[in-house]
Amino acid sequence: MTTIEEIAEKLAEAILQSGMKQKELAEKIGVRQQMISYYVNKTKLPALDTLSRLCSVLDLDANEILCVERKDLF
């Protein structure tokens, strides 16, 4: 099972690699800078629509952020 800590670490890493400041990222996805801080400090998880915008702006696959490995189910 994926933990909030794992998701927060992946988001923090992706934000760092993007070179964007939290404030800039927040403006691009339509949230307050404080929310970005919550996400990387393991206080809150982003809502699904926010996660989608984060992935779009940071050019990420949601499966990677959620620590989901794709496996053939059939």
At 55, which CATH number? 1.10.260.40
pTM exceeding 0.75: yes
Give the helix/strand (H/E) hosting 60: none
In a domain, 72, yes or no: no
Indicate the burial class of 63 (C-beta count within 10 angstroms; 0-12, 13-18, 19 or more): exposed
Residues of the domain holding 38: 4-62
Q: What is the pLDDT of residues 40-69, one digit of tens each?
A: 999 999 999 999 999 999 999 998 888 887
Residue 2, both tokens: 């994926």
Residue 24, both tokens: 């800039």
Residue 1: its pLDDT value, please? 75
Tokens 């982003």 map to which residue? Answer: 46
| Number of domains observed in the structure of the chain | 1
Residue 53, both tokens: 């915008």
The torsion angles phi and psi of 68, rounded to 5 degrees, stand at: -100, 125
In the chain, % of residues over pLDDT 90: 78
Q: What is the amino acid identity at position 27?
A: E
